[in-house]
Amino acid sequence: MKVLLFFIGWCLLFALSGPLALLALVLAPLVWLLSLPLQLLGITLAAVFALIKALLFLPARLLGGRR
């Protein structure tokens, strides 16, 4: 469904301004490549916070806290 909406939006942009639509088509993969390090950073931070949470709640789990 997202691909269909993207395609319809791109077709409308192409009808309104052809060069702008072609520029968007060329720049979209470059923007995706530039965002990859940020996505990896987000995944890493989520894993670090999950580890910290697990370490903080470990004593309560060992003592049989609420489930």
- Whether residue 24 contacts residue 13, with contact meaning beta carbons closer than 8 Å, is answered with yes
Q: Which residue reads 């949470």 in tokens?
A: 53
One digit per residue, the tens of pLDDT, for the chain of length 67 reads 888 998 999 899 899 999 998 898 899 899 999 999 999 999 999 999 999 999 999 988 888 866 6
Instruction: Tell me if 9 sits within 8 A of 16, measured CB to CB.
Output: no
What pTM was estimated for this model as a whole?
Answer: 0.57
**Where do the structural domains in the chain lie, given as residue ranges?**
2-62
Element (H, E) at 56: helix 18-62
The DSSP letter of residue 66 is -
What is the C-alpha to C-alpha distance for residues 10 and 21, in angstroms, rounded to an integer? Answer: 7
